[in-house]
Amino acid sequence: MTSDLFASRPWIESPAPIDDSVVGMLGQHEAALFYHLARSYWRGEGTIVDAGSFLGKSARCFAAGVRANPKLGPTTRIHCFDDFRCHDLLTVNLVREGFGDEIAIGDSTQTYFDRQVAGDAELLEVHAGDFHDAEWQNGPIEILMVDIAKSPSLGSRVVEQFFPHLTVGRSLVVHQDYHHVWLPHIHVAMEYLADSFELVVPRADDTAAFRLVAELDPDRMRRIIANDFIADERVELMGRAIDRLPTDKRFVVQLARLNLLAELERFDDMRHGLADVRAVQPSQLSPNEATALRTIEDILDMHDIADVYARGDHERALAVVDRVLAREATPRAHAFRAVILANRDAGADAAVAARAEAERTAPPELRHTLMGQTELRFGLVDAAQATVRQQLQAISADSLPANLCDLLVAVWKRRPPTADADELLEDLGQRFVTDAEVDWLRARLAFLREDAAAAFAHARAGLDRGGETRRAVDLLASFQLTPAAVRAATSN
Ligand SMILES: C[S@@+](CC[C@H](N)C(=O)[O-])C[C@H]1O[C@@H](n2cnc3c(N)ncnc32)[C@H](O)[C@@H]1O
């Protein structure tokens, strides 16, 4: 019956019986997959976990499925995990289109979730909060849907908290982000555990599903949790993950491998890889595939422009950026043009105009960092430092944008911070009295100056001030530490 399900793939023909108006990020086939798994695969031998519930669409699909399953009982629960916060512009737009409301990045989305799942509320157990802090204490998991592994640290948490509760021969891990370019850590982790998993759904929209068929090796899980892979290993695992897929379902994962190569700054390999992928690309690309391809092309083009510029061929760099702008006028391409023009004799006015265009079109989360990041990318460290300082001066909000702080630290890493940095922190400390970001800037400055005791103390101060765990995880990873280790090391 189960293998029939994976062979007959009812999700292709038979959609999830939920209202078309339900707002969410799932494609039609994956929404139907979730429904059919809950309806025909789930036996009530473990729970269903909906990790990354967003506005409730995946929960609705699972709930509709269990309602159609004779195993539904009074204690049946679907466990929903999310921090219910707006993380990106896509969410801002979905909420505007779906509910007619204007929200901003950082706002709560919980009311929309509650509204959309109201009819199924008694079937759901909601775990609201940063998933970095989530703990699983609800026994075996039969279906684990993962749409929350948006960073390596979140991916580690999924493996750490949930994987020990999977049952051999029964449990499914359903990765909604598998056919995406941005999260190669998911492919690396699943491939590293490939001896224990069988690929049962190679692709339904962006999703792939795996069944646990053999005990998980605790040492392998530990390495995944610690994200302890060298670059070559990651690339090799990614290659094997691609080979595991049927040839007609490899395209996006091949592009994800190219993104991994970009992260590792292996741009020549990336270029050859892109030529190979293009040579066998499907004749008709779906909209998602076309976006994935454009993303990778953009990453490579932007690298090439900065590279040509660094070699002194500014005219060619300008020609390439103009070609990119003609294809798609992204804020980043405008920013690249502004930087090239600003550093060219006859370009001052045009540079100002290009910069204004970059800032006008930049999404809010990029607004403060776009120019500084671009200058840093071109190796113009002084210019980047000046831009970051100017942006920090200009901030009128009551909290410090985290990505601007990260950019400041990136500048410090390129140019060892002097006494100016202490003055700047003094000033920020007075302006943002209760902001943990200031403590964490102090911690990172101390770390760069090899004063580990001060780094620990400031990191601890940020945690004590209520700084978010998600943020601390990323910062402390650069010290090779976790928040728990910092707390332990600085407790009396
Ligand atoms: C792509 S959405 C999930 C889509 C959803 N499954 C659906 O059916 O439409 C990813 C979700 O991950 C959540 N998320 C991202 N980072 C998180 C974190 N650190 N803790 C908890 N949730 C997080 C976001 O709030 C978002 O709702």
The pocket around ligand 1, CB under 6 angstroms, is made up of 24-26, 52-55, 57-58, 82-83, 85, 87, 130-132, 147-148, 150, 154, 470
Token duo for residue 398: 């009551």
Same domain, 98 and 209: yes
Sort 81 into a burial class: Cβ within 10 Å, 0-12 / 13-18 / 19+: buried
Using CA atoms in the order 255, 260, 264, 265, what is the torsion angle rounded to 10 degrees?
20
Same domain, 224 and 279: no
Q: How far is the CA of 256 from the centre of ligand 1 (A)?
A: 20
Same domain, 17 and 108: yes
Specify if 18 maps to a domain. Answer: yes
pLDDT tens string, the chain, 492 residues long: the values are 556 999 999 999 999 999 999 999 999 999 999 999 999 999 999 999 999 999 999 999 999 999 999 999 999 999 999 999 998 888 999 999 999 999 988 899 999 999 999 999 999 999 999 999 999 999 999 999 999 999 999 999 999 999 999 999 999 999 999 999 999 999 999 999 999 999 999 999 999 999 999 999 999 999 999 888 999 999 999 999 999 999 999 999 999 999 999 999 999 999 999 999 999 888 889 988 999 999 999 899 999 999 998 888 888 999 989 988 888 888 889 999 998 888 776 657 788 888 888 888 888 778 889 999 999 988 899 999 999 999 999 888 788 999 999 999 999 999 988 899 999 999 999 999 999 999 999 999 999 998 888 988 998 899 899 888 878 877 777 777 777 777 776 665
Same domain, 139 and 214: yes
Q: How far is the CA of 375 from the centre of ligand 1 (A)?
A: 32
Specify if 443 maps to a domain. Answer: no
Domain that holds residue 255: 250-311
Specify if 462 maps to a domain. Answer: no
Q: Domain boundary at 291, 311, 331, which?
A: 311
Specify if 336 maps to a domain. Answer: no
Same domain, 255 and 188: no
Q: How far is the CA of 131 from the centre of ligand 1 (A)?
A: 9
Ligand 1 atom showing the smallest separation from residue 154 Cα: 19
Residue 148 is given by DSSP the state: -
**Protein residue whose Cα sits closest to atom 2 of ligand 1:** 54
Same domain, 186 and 273: no
**Whole-angstrom Cα distance, residue 245 to residue 254?**
10
Pairing of strands 172-175, 207-212: antiparallel
Task: Calculate the alpha carbon distances from 207 to 48, 265, 362, 422, 489 in Å.
Answer: 16, 28, 30, 48, 41
Helix (H), strand (E) at residue 63: helix 57-67
**Whole-angstrom Cα distance, residue 458 to residue 476?**
11
Q: Report the domain count for the chain.
A: 2
Same domain, 31 and 176: yes
Task: Calculate the alpha carbon distances from 133 to 56, 169, 469, 473 in Å.
Answer: 21, 29, 7, 10
Query: At 397, phi and psi to the nearest 5?
Result: -65, 170
**Whole-angstrom Cα distance, residue 69 to residue 49?**
17
